[in-house]
Amino acid sequence: MSLEGKTALVTGATRGIGKAIAKALADQGAMVVGTATSENGAESISADLKAAGAKGFGIVMNVADPDSIEAGLKEINEKAGAPAILVNNAGITRDNLLMRLKDDDWASVVETNLSSVYRTSKAVLRGMAKARWGRVINISSVVAGMGNPGQANYCAAKAGVEGFTRSLAKEMSNRGITANCVAPGFIDTDMTRKLDDKQREAMMEVIPAGRLGEPEEVAAVVAFLASEAAGYVTGETIHVNGGMYMG
């Protein structure tokens, strides 16, 4: 299998898209370390990987906290080796119309969805540069390009992630390190389950495919970008959205 012998770090791997990504990378033979914000979450990641007959485990790491990232990376380096693949998936929403958006809603979304990507990427780059091989895959969102009412904070953070990724791609290309984004549309996860019926109906009207995406459909693209075959793809954002937005 193509990712045999490589360690992959997937943030926010307890459920939804992150869980599917952890499974997809494990299926390719990678040793997967998934992060969760709680001890229970970390245990469930370990259990899921074990049940799938995969190598890897869950750890507690809060991507909004630099100290927690440092401690997490230390643990990963000791137990699994320096990550060759980093998938920044952890993210939160704090939706509100801008006129009602609180400073804290802004700060926490930018911290968790954007600053975390800067920190985790920086923490793994040295190892990747030494190995002359690395894959950084950041999970963006269709709304980074489209905009979405009620999500100024989330859209700003995700668009920031895409710009960050393009710079990273240019900086590290000649070290065999690629950096790309995957931008999911509406995927059937807890994040979209929070929407009410009216919002869901409106959503279906703008998705040519006429259905929500599955987490596995996002994970398959991540697995491709992580593979050897994707070595010449860098600085890209790949949309996985059933045709609702084409960049």
Partner 1 sequence: MSTVEERVKKIVCEQLGVKESEVQNTSSFVEDLGADSLDTVELVMALEEEFETEIPDEEAEKLASVQDAIDYIVAHT
Catalytic amino acids?
154
| Run of H or E including 145 | helix 143-146
Task: Specify the residue, 166 or 175, whose C-beta has the smaller distance to partner 1.
Answer: 175
Give the dihedral of Cα atoms 17, 21, 22, 27; nearest 10 deg: 140
- One-letter identity of residue 128: M
Pick from 39, 70, 171, 201: which binds partner 1 (CB under 8 A)?
171
Q: Would you count residue 166 as binding partner 1 (CB under 8 A)?
A: no
**DSSP letter at 57?**
E
Give me the helix-helix angle, 215-226 and 16-27, nearest 10°.
40
178, 132 Cβ separation under 8 angstroms:
no
Task: Specify the residue, 4 or 171, whose C-beta has the smaller distance to partner 1.
Answer: 171
Pick from 17, 33, 172, 225: which binds partner 1 (CB under 8 A)?
172
Residue 197 dihedral angles phi and psi, to the nearest 5° = -55, -40
Q: Would you count residue 94 as binding partner 1 (CB under 8 A)?
A: no
Instruction: Give me the least distance between CB of 130 and partner 1, in Å please.
Output: 8
Instruction: Give me the least distance between CB of 81 and partner 1, in Å please.
Output: 18
Instruction: Give me the least distance between CB of 122 and partner 1, in Å please.
Output: 12
Q: What character string, x for contact with partner 1 (CB under 8 A) and - otherwise, covers 117-146?
A: ---------x--x-----------------
Spatial separation of the C-alpha atoms in residues 25 and 54, rounded to whole Å: 9
Spatial separation of the C-alpha atoms in residues 114 and 116, rounded to whole Å: 5
For residue 156, say whether it is annotated as part of any ligand binding site. yes
| Residues from 98 through 117 that contact partner 1 (CB under 8 A) | none
Total residues interacting with partner 1, rule: CB under 8 A: 6
Edge-first strand listing for the sheet containing 85-88: 56-60, 31-36, 7-10, 85-88, 134-139, 177-184, 237-240
* Binding site per annotation, positions for NADP(+): 12-15, 37, 62-63, 89, 154-158, 187
Binding site for partner 1 (CB under 8 A): 126, 129, 171-172, 174-175
